[in-house]
């Protein structure tokens, strides 16, 4: 369906905001985000997962919703419009939208000296180079005991994505990183935790 058609049907209440995160993956994410105080989601799309994370986190916390939200042919980002509306309807932690890539936002937080994130969900650029850029920045921003969840990082019974760059980078680099340990694997989702 074309984005403009989806937006119209969404505004009429005929269709809902979309997500590629399955219910089982979302449940795993919420388990690890529960009660966290400083989080980030890289790759917001329609804000479905953002809204759920907002509700799961500590109400006094902050969730950064990071996505470049490219401008479409009609002069604005339909995805950003839908995401903003979805997130406004959820209650919980404060949400700050950043119109940046994961790599750009990570560089910004590193320059600002913010190194105490306790939950990060990476679901942005799934190429090898894209995840490499996100990981190089964000793995340094997570405090001891904090988790990084990686979408499309492994194949599942229903989806063989072994050739995806994000799967290859997860296997070759992230799983070999001695500063982190794998704590959960659900469908295409891998969650790692920074060791103390």
* pLDDT tens readout for residues 63-93: 999 999 999 887 899 999 999 999 999 999 9
Q: How confident is the model at residue 114 (pLDDT cuts 50, 70, 90)?
A: confident
Q: What is the pLDDT of residue 58?
A: 98
**Tokens matching residue 23:** 């219910």
Question: Does the pLDDT of residue 121 top 90, yes or no?
Answer: yes
- Statement: 17-194 belongs to CATH 3.40.50.150: yes
Are the C-beta atoms of residues 164 and 20 closer than 8 Å to each other?
A: no
Question: Does the pLDDT of residue 183 top 90, yes or no?
Answer: yes
Q: How far is Cα 131 from Cα 178, in angstroms, rounded to an integer?
A: 18
Q: What is the pLDDT of residue 186?
A: 98
Question: Does the pLDDT of residue 30 top 90, yes or no?
Answer: yes
114 or 62: which carries more pLDDT confidence? 62
By 3-state DSSP, what share of the chain in percent is helix, strand and coil, each rounded to 5?
Answer: 35, 20, 40
Q: What is the pLDDT of residue 154?
A: 98
Q: How far is Cα 71 from Cα 95, in angstroms, rounded to an integer?
A: 21
The mean pLDDT of 3-13, rounded to a whole number, is: 88
Question: Does the pLDDT of residue 20 top 90, yes or no?
Answer: yes
Q: What is the pLDDT of residue 135?
A: 98
């Amino acid at each position: 369906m074309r984005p403009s058609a989806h937006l119209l049907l969404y505004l009429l209440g005929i269709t809902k905001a979309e997500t590629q995160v399955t219910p089982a993956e979302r449940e795993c994410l919420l388990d690890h985000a529960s009660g966290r105080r400083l989080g980030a989601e890289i790759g917001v799309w329609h804000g479905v997962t953002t809204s759920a994370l907002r509700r799961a986190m500590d109400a006094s916390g902050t969730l950064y919703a990071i996505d470049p939200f490219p401008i479409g042919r009609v002069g604005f980002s339909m995805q950003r419009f839908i995401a903003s509306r979805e997130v406004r309807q959820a209650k919980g932690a404060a949400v700050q939208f950043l119109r940046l890539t994961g790599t750009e936002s990570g560089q910004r937080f590193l320059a600002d000296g913010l190194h105490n994130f306790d939950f990060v969900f990476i679901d942005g650029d799934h190429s090898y180079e894209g995840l490499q850029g996100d990981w190089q920045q964000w793995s340094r921003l997570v405090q001891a005991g904090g988790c990084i969840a990686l979408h499309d990082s492994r194949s599942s019974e229903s989806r063989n994505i072994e050739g995806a760059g994000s799967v290859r980078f997860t296997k070759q680099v992230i799983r070999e990183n001695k500063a982190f340990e794998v704590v959960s694997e659900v469908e295409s989702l891998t969650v790692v935790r920074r060791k103390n």
